[in-house]
Structure 1
Amino acid sequence: MQIAKLEVPRCLVGEGPVWDVGSGLLFWIDILGRKVHKLDPVTGLTRTWEVPGIIGSMALRESGGAIVALANGVYALDFDSGACTLIASSPDLDDQVQLADGKVDRRGRFIVGSSDRSMKDARGKLYVLEPGASQLRVIDEGITLSNGPCWSPDNATFYHADSIRNEIYAYDYDIETAAVSNRRPFAGTAELGGIPDGATVDTLGGVWSAICEGGKLVRFLADGSIDRIIDMPVRLPGSVMFGGAGLDRLFVPSLDPSFMGRANDPLDGATFVIDGLGFTGLPEPRFAG
């Protein structure tokens, strides 16, 4: 196994990596930097789009461009012009609640959570955005800091973390309706030294979670037990996503603690790639809208 730092722009809060199988490109976001980054690993060239607010997550669209979850709604990002246009929102989003991490399920819907801005109260919710809809539909609530949505390979289980509670939950998932049920604790991270942040699932059903503040990545088995721990060269890994031609490379953006008033190290805010893990990921779907 080898961990390498990518020669790409550093982030304040690097999160939300998305590997696009069709183009062979890596996308990720800088939440507080209000940016979407793109890397072509073949040429090493990068491109950056600035967005008009704090960005919680992004996904590529089948029709081109991307959708981005800004604080007050989901916007369409035009890659040619850089314009952001609001396409869906919710009356729940206000000066106390903002959109956070999100991903596309295998029917092309965008599942996105919201978080309490103070990170103290469980005001957040989980929403689904159906293609063509202008309103976000609530599918769960009582969340403080939403993170790490992902699905088992058979689509039957949905994973989602409430980071402030140091808990990853599992749900039964109805892929036909995007309904979630039977929320239950899947894995706790307090003893791992940090909070569960971004996550993904491999082809064998293992759940990979970035343990922010804990300086590590953890692979959980489907029963919630720990299978593997990878120590990272930074304390604040933000998320994980399999990519590369064989979907066997793990991309890991990170956070720079200076935004919290803390001293940073030279690697903080960098994006890393891990090779030689022996696991492969699943193609990331595009939003069908």
Structure 2
Amino acid sequence: MPITISPVVDVKTSLGENPLWDIEQQRLYFIDSADGRIFRTTADGYRVETWDVREMIGSMALRSGGETAVVALQSGIYSFDFKKDQLELLHAPEADTPTNRLNDGKADSRGRFVFGSMDTREAEGAGKLYRLDPDMSLTTLDEGIVCSNGPCWSPDERTFYFTDSWSGEIRAYDYEPETGSVSRRRTFVSVDERDGGLADGMTVDAEGFLWEAHVFAGKLNRYAPDGTLERSINMPVRKVTSVMFGGPNLDTLFVTSMGRSPKPQFPEDGPLRGAVFAVEGLGVRGLPAYRFGA
């Protein structure tokens, strides 16, 4: 079966991020980080719903037991009720650092939300990596980060992957599923940036291979568990931002993109800029997204 790439939803997100397929609802969620919006749609993009969270949003994870999510906004971690369109502040870990905002995050199988922060100027290592437990306790896992991106786990959850996009590397940590602790940080991949690309959002498939959205270069890279580049796929736009498997069989790779260049030196894109794409025919399946508090 040949690989096909097609736009699923074209709402011209300024900064599309965080594709999240919920297996219970059979719905795709994604966000516009810059414009502060959450979207929900069917696998074919036929029906699109939108919520405005009224400030920049870095990531989200659905919560167990209802129509709510935990969301990483510019000012802190909130609980968001989709039906009431209501936010409730849970933590403001960086209220004393106004040049920072919260960014990428995901839930693990024990219902913890692991997320990071970033320097909005993307210049200083002022960001941190956090873990929010279901009891709402907050733990710092790492620090000295410019731009947190791509948290994800190996299928057995013994390895945690993460990138500081400006570091030139994808990192691996030993992860303890029972406690959510990390240790033994190391370089998993030294990212090839000769094409002008940086590591952005990431996910792991059922075979344990890591998929990376290579932003500004218009590529998706797949790495073997030993860090070897297994394949690279060219996308219709250069500013691809994040990836997540979904669809009824978890074999469609959904890819978000950026509709607006953050700085003048970064490339512009054509009419499909800011769209969400479906990549099919890859021959692999993904892992289900977990819910916070499960």
Equivalent residues of 2:16, 2:30 under 8 A apart: yes
CA change 1:126–1:68 in 2 (3 A) is same
Q: Counterpart of 2:171? A: 169
**Residues 110-125 of structure 1: pairs in structure 2 closer than 5 A:** 110-125=113-128
Q: Counterpart of 2:20? A: 18
One-letter code aligned to 2:129: L
2:267 matches 1:267:
no
Equivalent residues of 2:239, 2:269 under 8 A apart: no
Equivalent residues of 1:215, 1:237 under 8 A apart: yes
How far residue 23 of structure 1 moved from its aligned partner, in angstroms, is 0.9
Equivalent residues of 1:166, 1:194 under 8 A apart: no
TM-score normalised over the length of structure 1 = 0.96
Aligned residues: 288
Range 3-12 or range 46-55, more displaced:
3-12
Q: Counterpart of 1:196? A: 199
Q: Counterpart of 1:100? A: 103
CA change 1:258–1:193 in 2 (3 A) is closer
Distance 1:222 1:92 in 2: 37
How far residue 132 of structure 1 moved from its aligned partner, in angstroms, is 2.6
Q: Counterpart of 2:73? A: 70
CA change 1:263–1:238 in 2 (3 A) is closer
Equivalent residues of 1:220, 1:228 under 8 A apart: yes
Structure 1 residue ranges without an equivalent (≥5): none
How far residue 93 of structure 1 moved from its aligned partner, in angstroms, is 5.4
Equivalent residues of 2:253, 2:279 under 8 A apart: yes
How far residue 28 of structure 1 moved from its aligned partner, in angstroms, is 0.4
CA change 1:266–1:91 in 2 (3 A) is closer
Q: Counterpart of 2:5? A: 3
Percent same amino acid at aligned positions? 44
1:159-216 per-position Cα deviation (integer Å, ceiling 9, x unaligned): 0001011211000001111111111011122245311100000011000000001110
Secondary structure in 2 matching 1:203: coil
One-letter code aligned to 2:188: F
Equivalent residues of 1:71, 1:93 under 8 A apart: no
Distance 2:79 2:124 in 1: 29
1:243-273 per-position Cα deviation (integer Å, ceiling 9, x unaligned): 0111000000100134535754211101100
1:93-124 per-position Cα deviation (integer Å, ceiling 9, x unaligned): 52122111000011100000011122111111
Range 25-34 or range 43-52, more displaced:
43-52
TM-score normalised over the length of structure 2 = 0.94
CA change 1:43–1:13 in 2 (3 A) is closer
Structure 2 residue ranges without an equivalent (≥5): none
Q: Counterpart of 2:285? A: 280
How far residue 84 of structure 1 moved from its aligned partner, in angstroms, is 1.3
